[in-house]
């Protein structure tokens, strides 16, 4: 086949959208991949603390120096640093939750040991309990995000989201096309129940907030056009729902080529339709791809499903949580149980974050879901799954354990033990 000769300029010229409909078609065609289920990717964020002074926030250069000294990770995870200095491990996709968990546990052990050699601890909590918000990552993206949140009247929750929250993120295949609607609906419906089970952030900024998951509360304080659930009225067409969501969401940043904040409310649809002009042009495919990275719904389509609603929980629990969530979505019989169990609480996002399993309907859903997962758990997960099951049966979550320790021993003692790995 003859290949036409093109100039570099023509080959590299960005494709600009001519309308919102043009942009919607681009999103719908690329948001989910048709295929089997089974691959699992994991990301886990840990707050970085000084072992001797938990109130001090380690700086960018200090954290970067430690990361530069980390030996090769056996599970091949990528290390990145969040705006407030939290350290994230992102593992490559593997076949099933067991392999993904084993790889990330091995990488986390190496990373923790190296940080401890430098006097730093990596703590798994949904929110930083004691330190005020402060950005240490100097990246221009995060500087622009700060400016956007300040201009939109959400400076405080925006800063807390960027610098004081941490999660365990589970990435799963989208699955076969004819099952997308059911799968995406269940991923959302599981949200409140899984939040109630994993809530692990009762404190923020040095005080109890009155919420089991202060992390989820922070996300709820940000605009729902960017951080709310994606599902439309019936959830029958997740690709169209995602396109509609993305086009209605305001543009946060424009690369010109540096990240420049958009300080007025401009839905992406208005930019694509030419009703608003940003950067002196219509948006390109690259602009839209970047815009999608600034949207933070609890379930985000990225060809796969990126499930973002879990608090960061201790090493003793998160392997069971990952197996549970994966099983409830990937195993057809477990998915049927979860669909029925979560129906009464499928939209109880705030209630789950505020009172967790103290809500009887949420505990009933959690009991059915954790039982379905426990029946299918491999033997090497028995201890972690046993702990998770007992916690649900008692109507407790990790936030209760941490809060009890703070009340019983004081915040200084609790933080000292937590940072040193004694809790």
CATH assignment of 39-250+296-420, given 3.30.590.20, 3.40.50.300, 3.30.70.100, 3.40.50.2000?
3.30.590.20
pLDDT, average across residues 80-84: 97
> 15: which residues sit within 8 A by CB, 6+ positions away?
284, 285
Alpha-carbon span 360 to 337, nearest angstrom? 18
Whether the pLDDT of residue 10 is over 60: the answer is no
Alpha-carbon span 245 to 13, nearest angstrom? 28
pLDDT, average across residues 262-281: 95
- Identify the pLDDT of residue 5: 39
35-60 confidence digits (pLDDT tens): 999 999 999 999 999 999 999 999 99
pLDDT, average across residues 2-19: 59
- Identify the pLDDT of residue 421: 80
- pLDDT class for 12, splitting at 50, 70, 90? low
Whether the pLDDT of residue 268 is over 70: the answer is yes
Percentage of the chain surpassing pLDDT 70? 96
- Identify the pLDDT of residue 6: 43
Whether the pLDDT of residue 9 is over 60: the answer is no
308-323 confidence digits (pLDDT tens): 999 999 999 999 999 9
- Identify the pLDDT of residue 2: 37
- Identify the pLDDT of residue 336: 98
Percentage of the chain surpassing pLDDT 90? 89
> 187: which residues sit within 8 A by CB, 6+ positions away?
172, 299, 305, 307, 329
pLDDT, average across residues 108-134: 97
- Identify the pLDDT of residue 13: 63
- pLDDT class for 14, splitting at 50, 70, 90? confident
219-261 confidence digits (pLDDT tens): 999 989 999 999 865 678 999 999 999 999 999 999 888 889 9
Whether the pLDDT of residue 209 is over 50: the answer is yes
pLDDT, average across residues 270-284: 95
358-384 confidence digits (pLDDT tens): 999 999 999 999 999 999 999 999 999
Instruction: Evaluate whether 222 touches 378 at the Cβ level (below 8 Å).
Output: no
Token output for 315: 């090493």
- pLDDT class for 417, splitting at 50, 70, 90? confident
C-alpha distance from residue 143 to each of 21, 197, 225, 259, 341 (Å): 31, 34, 21, 8, 43
Whether the pLDDT of residue 3 is over 50: the answer is no
Whether the pLDDT of residue 415 is over 70: the answer is yes
- Identify the pLDDT of residue 200: 98
Average pLDDT over all residues of the chain: 94
DSSP-assigned beta bridge partners for residue 44: 89, 168
């Amino acid at each position: 086949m003859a290949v036409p000769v093109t100039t570099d300029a023509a080959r590299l010229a960005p494709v600009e959208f001519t309308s919102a409909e043009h942009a919607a078609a681009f999103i719908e065609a690329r948001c989910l991949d048709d295929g089997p289920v089974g691959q699992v990717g994991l990301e886990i964020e840990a707050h970085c603390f000084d072992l001797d002074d938990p109130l001090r926030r380690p700086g960018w250069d200090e954290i970067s120096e430690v990361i530069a000294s980390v030996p090769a990770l056996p599970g091949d995870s990528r290390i990145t640093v969040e705006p407030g200095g939290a350290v994230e491990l992102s593992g490559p996709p593997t076949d099933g939750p067991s392999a993904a968990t084993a790889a990330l546990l091995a990488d986390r052990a190496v990373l923790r040991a190296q940080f401890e050699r430098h006097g730093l601890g990596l703590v798994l909590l949904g929110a930083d309990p004691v330190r005020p918000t402060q950005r240490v990552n100097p990246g221009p993206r995060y500087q622009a995000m700060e400016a956007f949140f300040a201009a939109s009247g959400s400076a405080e929750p925006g800063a807390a989201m960027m610098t004081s929250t941490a999660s365990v993120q589970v990435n799963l295949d989208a699955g076969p096309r004819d099952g997308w609607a059911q799968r995406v609906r269940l991923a959302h419906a599981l949200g409140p129940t899984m939040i109630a089970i994993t809530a692990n952030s009762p404190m923020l900024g040095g005080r109890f907030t009155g919420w089991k998951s202060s992390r989820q509360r922070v996300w709820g304080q940000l605009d729902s056009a960017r951080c709310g659930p994606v599902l439309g009225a019936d959830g029958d067409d997740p690709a169209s729902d995602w396109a509609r969501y993305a086009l209605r969401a305001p543009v946060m940043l424009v690369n010109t080529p540096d990240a420049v904040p958009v300080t007025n409310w401009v839905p992406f649809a208005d930019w694509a339709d030419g009703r608003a002009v940003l950067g002196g042009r219509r948006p390109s495919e690259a602009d839209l791809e970047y815009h999608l990275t600034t949207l933070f719904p609890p379930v985000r389509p990225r060809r796969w499903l990126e499930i973002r609603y879990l608090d960061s929980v201790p090493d003793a629990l998160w392997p069971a949580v990952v197996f549970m969530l994966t099983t409830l979505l990937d195993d057809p019989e477990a998915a049927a149980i979860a669909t029925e169990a979560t129906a009464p609480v499928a939209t109880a996002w705030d209630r789950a974050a505020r009172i967790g399993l103290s809500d009887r309907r949420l505990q009933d859903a959690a009991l059915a879901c954790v039982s379905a997962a426990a029946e299918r758990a491999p033997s090497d997960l028995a201890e972690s799954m046993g702990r998770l099951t007992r916690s649900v049966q008692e109507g407790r979550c990790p936030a209760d354990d941490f809060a009890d320790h703070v009340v019983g021993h004081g915040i200084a003692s609790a933080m000292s033990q937590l940072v040193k790995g004694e809790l």
